């Protein structure tokens, strides 16, 4: 498979202002030196505790947040170097499904107006072909065309999220960021939306960055999974490899929290000590060391490097001193 998206050393730091003259006194490293690749037609899940930088990473990839440093290469084009007009054109190939189906749709616009807007902005098709396009999209996401003249408040949460998915599909993108796309929905509705996303990937060949704190959902839908902690990617592998044999102590703790439906199976829950450190003042070296049950002296001295622990056919890397080869 060919690579669609390549992230190299991506950073997003937010300046913190303070003092009498409101000067920059510090910075919050929301995303700190993240690199990965995503193949065409594949889904990469991104997991981690709240506040670890998952959503900021997704928005930085799309330049909804301007990256502080690093490159984002989408289908051979460096998104970070594009100027305004070229960036608008590039947005045809990358879209986002937001977390909140209630807030992501304008209450003053009908569904028809919402779905037509991307096509009109990019001057795609005639009025007749645009209308036909949005009717086809509604059918794809399981809604009938007679809902086009309704407003968002007339729909349930699951229906609004389907409309959000239809909006993301209007420009036939190559890449979609699904930012907690099912977290606000009931469990039964979640499964419907997840199956819809999975079917769209198979039929349209779209690549997804699927951001979620729900590890079971990520396992169900993802080909590869990345684990974030305090703005850094600490482990990445195929979903099969990561869930079967997690390597990083943080990943092990996260997976131990997944509830098991079989009451005869008892999981040994790994409880992490302490709270997540402030991203304004992260620990030196490995940022996870203050909560890690296997921390060593070296963990405080330097950040761990990415170490390959998988195979040629099933890549699996981890950023942990436990797996670094002695020199």
CATH number of the domain bearing residue 39: 3.40.50.300
Tokens 């990937």 locate to 201
- Are both 96 and 128 inside the same structural domain? yes
- Are both 108 and 212 inside the same structural domain? yes
Q: What is the pLDDT of residue 93?
A: 94
- Are both 184 and 279 inside the same structural domain? no
- Are both 176 and 269 inside the same structural domain? no
The residues near 302 (Cβ < 8 Å, ≥ 6 apart) are 285
- Are both 24 and 151 inside the same structural domain? yes
- Are both 183 and 327 inside the same structural domain? no
Domain that holds residue 322: 237-327
- Are both 107 and 73 inside the same structural domain? yes
Q: What is the pLDDT of residue 153?
A: 94
Q: What is the pLDDT along the chain (327 residues), one digit of tens a residue?
A: 689 999 999 999 999 998 888 898 889 999 999 999 999 999 999 999 988 999 999 999 999 999 999 999 999 999 999 998 899 999 999 999 998 888 889 999 999 999 999 999 999 999 999 999 999 999 888 899 999 999 999 999 889 989 999 999 999 999 999 998 888 777 877 888 888 888 888 888 999 999 998 898 899 899 999 999 999 999 999 999 999 999 999 999 999 888 776 666 666 778 888 888 988 889 999 999 999 999 999 999 999 999 999 887 889 999 999 998 664
Query: How many CB atoms sit inside 10 A of residue 86's CB?
Result: 12
Smallest CA-to-CA distance from 153 within 193, 182, 111 is with 111
CA distance 327 to 324: 9
- Are both 159 and 69 inside the same structural domain? yes
Judge whether 232 lies within some domain.
no
Burial profile 190-227: b = 16 or more Cβ within 10 angstroms, e = fewer? bebbbebbeebbeeeebbbbbbbbebebbbbbbbbbbb
Smallest CA-to-CA distance from 193 within 157, 149, 150 is with 157
Judge whether 203 lies within some domain.
yes
Q: What angle do CA 108, 179, 249 make, to 5 degrees?
A: 160
Q: How many domains does the chain have?
A: 2
- Are both 291 and 155 inside the same structural domain? no
Strand order in the sheet with 69-74: 23-39, 3-18, 69-74, 77-78
């Amino acid at each position: 498979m060919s690579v669609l998206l390549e992230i190299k050393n991506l950073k997003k730091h937010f300046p913190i202002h303070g003092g009498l003259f409101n000067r920059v006194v510090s910075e919050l490293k929301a995303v700190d030196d993240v690199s990965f690749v995503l193949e065409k037609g594949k889904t990469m899940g991104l997991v981690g505790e709240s506040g670890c930088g998952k959503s900021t990473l997704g928005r930085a990839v799309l330049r909804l947040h301007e990256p502080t440093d690093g490159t984002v290469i989408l289908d051979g084009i460096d998104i970070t170097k594009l100027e305004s007009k070229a960036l608008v054109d590039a947005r045809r190939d990358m879209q986002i499904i937001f977390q909140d189906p209630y807030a992501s749709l304008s209450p003053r616009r009908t569904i028809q107006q919402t779905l037509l807007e991307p096509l009109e902005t990019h001057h795609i098709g005639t009025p007749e072909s645009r209308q036909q396009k949005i009717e086809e999209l509604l059918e794809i996401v399981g809604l009938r065309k007679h809902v086009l003249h309704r407003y968002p408040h007339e729909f349930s949460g699951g229906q609004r999220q389907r409309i959000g998915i239809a909006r993301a599909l209007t420009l036939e993108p190559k890449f979609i960021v699904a930012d907690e796309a099912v977290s606000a929905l009931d469990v039964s509705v979640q499964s419907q939306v997840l199956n819809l996303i999975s079917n769209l990937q198979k039929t349209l060949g779209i690549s997804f960055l699927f951001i979620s704190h729900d590890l079971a959902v990520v396992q169900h839908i993802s080909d590869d999974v990345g684990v974030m902690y305090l703005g850094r990617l600490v482990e990445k592998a195929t979903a099969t490899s990561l869930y079967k044999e997690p390597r990083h102590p943080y990943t092990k703790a996260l997976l131990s929290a997944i509830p098991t439906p079989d009451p005869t199976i008892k999981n040994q829950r790994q409880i992490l000590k302490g709270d997540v450190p402030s991203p304004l003042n992260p620990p030196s070296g490995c940022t996870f060391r203050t909560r890690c049950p296997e921390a060593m002296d070296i963990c405080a001295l330097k950040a761990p490097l990415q170490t390959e622990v998988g195979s040629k056919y099933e890549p699996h890397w981890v950023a942990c001193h436990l797996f670094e080869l002695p020199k």
